[in-house]
Amino acid sequence: MRWNPMLRVGAAVFAVGLVAAACGQQESLGGGGGQAPEYEVVQDPRFAPGTTMAELSEAGTIRIGTKFDQPLFGLRNLDGQMRGFDVEIAKIISGQLGIAPEDIEWVQSPSAQREDLIERGEVDMVVATYTINDERAQRVSFAGPYYQAGQILMVRSDNQEITGPDSLRGSGARVCTVTGSTPSENIRPFIEESQLVLFQQYSQCRDALGTDQVDVVTTDNVILLGYVANSEGQFKLVGDTFTEEPYGVGIPKGDVQFCLFINQALTEAAGTGAYQRAWEATAGTVAEETPELPELNSCR
Amino acid sequence: MQPVISFLGAVVGYFDPVIDNIGLFADAFLHTLEIVVYAAVGSLALGTVVAAFRVSPVSPLRWVGTSWVTVFRNCPLTVVLFFCAFGLPEIGINGAYFWFGVTGLVLYTSAFVSEAVRSGINSVSAGQAEAARAIGLTFRQSMGQVVFPQAFRTVVPPLGSVIIAMIKNSAIVGAFGVGNELFSVHATLVSARGLALIPVLLGVAAGYLIITLTGGALLGVLERKVAIAR
């Protein structure tokens, strides 16, 4: 029987290999299918001297922080192409500065680093499923919001007990989300501390849900919609969204002119249909309804 | 005097993110302490068994011991933890992530404990084991009553280093579903609540230093207690 430990390790190696292969496949699909739409690139735009817009437009290039691993919003494909709704929104804004998509420098901006990247000036703006909240607004300014997401629960399809966040406490259900995310803070009032399971990525939570290690995955609806769509009926969403997560464009603190400019660009995009095309080519491939542009911040 | 006071005020102010959340740090500190205590006990026990396998006269046991050390000493800890957190459920073994994390630390650390213990055993001269056998002690008796007690003295310093390394390695388990441990505090405070990174990380470092420095001091005491003049 002394082979047994080795056999088990071997089985685990094989199993994890399968999981890794499955993840790889899904993520190549997750950026949203179809051809990327094209947007207006303004020729020789004019801006007041000294503004951020004038500097960027003069330079002809812009550094944009986004996620590289967020299906449907910001995902870098194996061939290096950026796909997702955040990416499209960034292209729309850059177009209004006279900067073509190929002149954008994409900078990976994980959740934990976004404020630092903006404060240190390593990016000109961040479009990265970036929920506007008061604490973040003390360090950076937000234009937008360009989308209103909301947190929701995902469970295995055969789960009848969990119907919404209020059914979690006392149920013993283990709830998975990502370390340091807004959803991890929002869910705390609904559960005991011992119910919370935290990973680095949502794909790990999804795998843990598939192997019965956790009972619920919670985060913004649009992220979970992508997983439900790819799960072949294994997972479902339950209850309604129970938070409001306005996604904003992060810019250096106090740059009111730049904020107003971005809001103007978003409003125009909603008017010309560019906003709707951006959605339909990305998150719209799994979400049912195309959203309206939410009411924008005043930038003050 | 005024500049000194305002400087001190600024320093204290800089650590507001830590001071305002001291309760969170304390909880996480205790949780990390719980993890490392279980992992230390488990890896010392398992590592000693593996070391006994490695020096045993039974060749299949030697083979198991050697394979164990080869596998777990040469795999990155992250990989071992991945197998525990994602591989075990895949083959039908479900459990709390806390125990998966502790298991991973124990498996990985036991290989290093085993090597430290084995080096201690080797430092006991063969004559001791031969003499034990000559007076009729069994393998178990000669190991338990003659060789291990002498080996123990030699292995305290290297085992101390192994355990301190394990305490620092425990920072990784937070990435594998074991929530609310010391290192993950920075994610909660910095990423979700947007506080400044450096003071929070300094607070985290202080938490680990409390554990490792205390552990190191206890080991120093133990080392002096068991030391013999040679």
Q: What is the ipTM of this complex?
A: 0.72
Name the percent of chain A lying above pLDDT 70. 88
Judging contacts by C-beta atoms under 8 Å, the chain B residues touching residue A197 are 97, 177, 179
Collect all residues from A whose CB is shorter than 8 A from any CB in B: 2, 5-6, 8-9, 11-13, 15-16, 18-19, 111-112, 115-116, 133, 135-136, 138-139, 176, 179-182, 184-185, 193, 196-200, 204, 207-208, 211-213
Supply the CATH classification number for the domain A16-148+247-285.
Answer: 3.40.190.10
Q: What is the pTM of this model?
A: 0.70
Domain covering A151-238: architecture: 3-Layer(aba) Sandwich (3.40)
Query: Chain A: nearest CA to B218, how far in angstroms?
Result: 32
- Residues A130 and A275: their CA atoms lie apart, in Å, by 18
Residue to test with chain B: of A2, A181, A213, A217, most B Cβ within 10 A: A213
The verdict on a CB contact (< 8 Å) between B89 and A211 is: yes
Please report which confidence band the pLDDT of residue A85 belongs to, taking 50, 70 and 90 as the band edges. very high
**Per-residue pLDDT tens for A126-154?**
999 898 988 889 899 999 899 998 999 99
Mean pLDDT of chain A: 85
- Residues A91 and A5: their CA atoms lie apart, in Å, by 53
- pLDDT of A29 > 50? The answer is no
Q: What's the rounded mean pLDDT across residues A14-24?
A: 48
- pLDDT of A32 > 50? The answer is no
CB A132 within 8 A of CB A243: no
Structural domain boundaries of chain A?
16-148+247-285, 151-238
B194 to chain A, any CB pair closer than 8 A? The answer is yes
Report the 10 Å Cβ neighbour count for A60. Answer: 11
**SS3 for chain B, per residue?**
CHHHHHHHHHHHHHCHHHHCCHHHHHHHHHHHHHHHHHHHHHHHHHHHHHHHHHHCCCHHHHHHHHHHHHHHHHCCHHHHHHHHHHHHHHCCCCCCHHHHHHHHHHHHHHHHHHHHHHHHHHHCCHHHHHHHHHCCCCHHHHHHHHHHHHHHHHHHHHHHHHHHHHHHHHHHHHHECCCCCHHHHHHHHHHHCCCCHHHHHHHHHHHHHHHHHHHHHHHHHHHHHHCCCC
Residues 141-180 of B with CB under 8 A from A: 174-177, 179-180
Q: What residue of B is the nearest CA neighbor of A9?
A: B83
Please give the pLDDT value at position A225.
84
Query: Chain B: nearest CA to A94, how far in angstroms?
Result: 27
- Residues A213 and A164: their CA atoms lie apart, in Å, by 19
Please give the pLDDT value at position A216.
95
Long-range contacts from A267-275, C-beta under 8 angstroms, 24+ separation:
A267/A293, A267/A296, A268/A96, A269/A39, A269/A92, A269/A293, A272/A40, A274/A37, A274/A39, A274/A40, A274/A92, A275/A89, A275/A92, A275/A146
Please report which confidence band the pLDDT of residue B19 belongs to, taking 50, 70 and 90 as the band edges. confident
Q: What residue of A is the nearest CA neighbor of B88?
A: A12
CA A267 to chain centre: 21
Q: What's the rounded mean pLDDT across residues A27-34?
A: 44
Domains along chain B with CATH numbers: 22-228 (1.10.3720.10)
Token pair, residue A65, equals 């922080």
